[in-house]
Structure 1
Amino acid sequence: MFSYFERLPLPQLTTQHQPPGNGLSGLPVIFYTESPTTQTFTVDIRGFSVVIEATAEQFTWHTGDPTGQLVTTDPGLPYPDQTIEHSYRSGTYTAYLTVTWGATFTVDGSAAADVPGTTTTDGPPVTFDVLQARPVLTNSYD
């Protein structure tokens, strides 16, 4: 069953980040994905109708900086309910998301059973700049 699961066209989940566009050093960048985290496939295997339900079990957020990656079991949320944050120094970074998928299967409506093993997909990379904010003194009486 695993060989069928491995060949399924599982989605590549897109990394979203906030703030959109450029980030600021000293303020964390928020990561999340709004892509679907479950997929259902029906395949014919030797005349049997097999339904495979794939579920995203682990999210590995490749941050693009030397600290490496963040590993979570949830897809994150946008501000103000964010669950995944990462602080950067100023520079340009490319981040992406690797999803580890597990699955269950049924044969002709039988009870669900686990597909042994997992498989992964890499989402498209997203590149952004993190800028250093510079204080500027102003005279508010002018």
Structure 2
Amino acid sequence: MGHICASLPGPGGGGGGGGGPAAPVRPDPPTRIPESQFQTFDIPAPTIYAWPKDWAVVGKPAAFWTNTEVSYIDMTLLTYAVTVKVTPEKFHWDFGDETGKTTTTKGAKPRPGGAPQIGHEYQKSGKVSVSMTATFSGEFSVDGGPWLPIDGFAHVASNDIAIDVYRYHRYLVDEDCYSDPRGPDCT
């Protein structure tokens, strides 16, 4: 009689005792999310607003703001339930006239007569398109555990707003255009 020695699959290499297939081993939970993966997440695009809504006047501040808030994304990674918390950190504004500004606040619609939190004064008339790119940081929680930081940042573009920039001027005249139709700014 001869003997054959073999390593069989299963717990302890002894075949598992039950003769059935071994249960798959669950991978370790994620401990890191790289920036390249974070940038592919479906982060809600910010919406921007302007006041006045779709026009501005040369030399007068137009106000801009966004409604971007902290958001949460639920997903499954390596069989684990993961919640990603996305926080807006910076806002990179493009005012459409080859100028821009970076802010750490999202701004707000100004009160009547108040100064804008995020304002811009156009220097010439014409049509412009205003946009903003928000920079988000992230944290993630695995199966309701502690929040862990995500490497790097994600950048998400907003909608565009078309704005007509007008120029205005004042004349001091002693009569109106009805009494003097050829007066300044009457034709």
> Under a length normalisation based on structure 1, what TM-score does the superposition of the two structures give?
0.89
Q: 2:150 corresponds to which residue?
A: 115
DSSP 3-state at the match of 1:130: strand
Letter in 2 for 1:69: G
Aligned to 1:76: 107
Listed as ranges, the matches of 1:1-142 within 5 Å are 1-2=33-34, 3-34=36-67, 36-66=68-98, 68-80=99-111, 82-89=116-123, 90-136=125-171, 137=173, 139=175
Paired amino acid for 2:166: L
C-alpha contact (below 8 Å) 2:72/2:86 kept by paired residues = yes
Identity %: 24
Runs of 4+ in 1 over 6 A off after TM superposition: none
Asked whether the equivalents of residues 54 and 161 of structure 2 are also in contact (C-alpha less than 8 Å), the reply is: no
Aligned-partner SS, 1:13: coil
Mapped to 2, the partners of 1:24 and 1:135 lie a distance apart of 13
Runs of at least 5 residues in structure 2 that lack an aligned partner in the other structure: 1-32, 180-187
Distance 1:138 1:75 in 2: 46
Aligned residue pair count: 139
Structure 1 or 2: more strand by fraction: 1
Structure 2 distance, partners of 1:21, 1:44, is 42
With over 3 angstroms needed to count, the CA separation of the structure-2 counterparts of 1:115 and 1:95, relative to structure 1, is same
Q: In structure 2, the residue corresponding to 1:124 is in which secondary structure?
A: coil
Letter matched to residue 8 of structure 1: F
RMSD: 1.7
Q: Which amino acid is the alignment partner of residue 117 of structure 2?
A: T
Q: Secondary structure at the match of 2:74?
A: strand
Whichever of the two has the greater Rg, that structure is 2
Instruction: Give me the whole-angstrom Cα distance separating, in 1, the residues matched to 2:39 and 2:97.
Output: 30
Aligned partners of 1:77, 1:125: CA distance in 2, in Å?
A: 17
Alignment partners' CA distance in 2, 1:108 and 1:62: 39
What is the SS of the residue equivalent to 1:111? coil
Alpha-carbon shift at residue 21 of structure 1 (Å): 2.3
Deviation, structure 1 residue 138:
5.5
CA, structure 1 residues 139+119, in 2 after alignment: closer, same or farther (shift >3 Å)? same
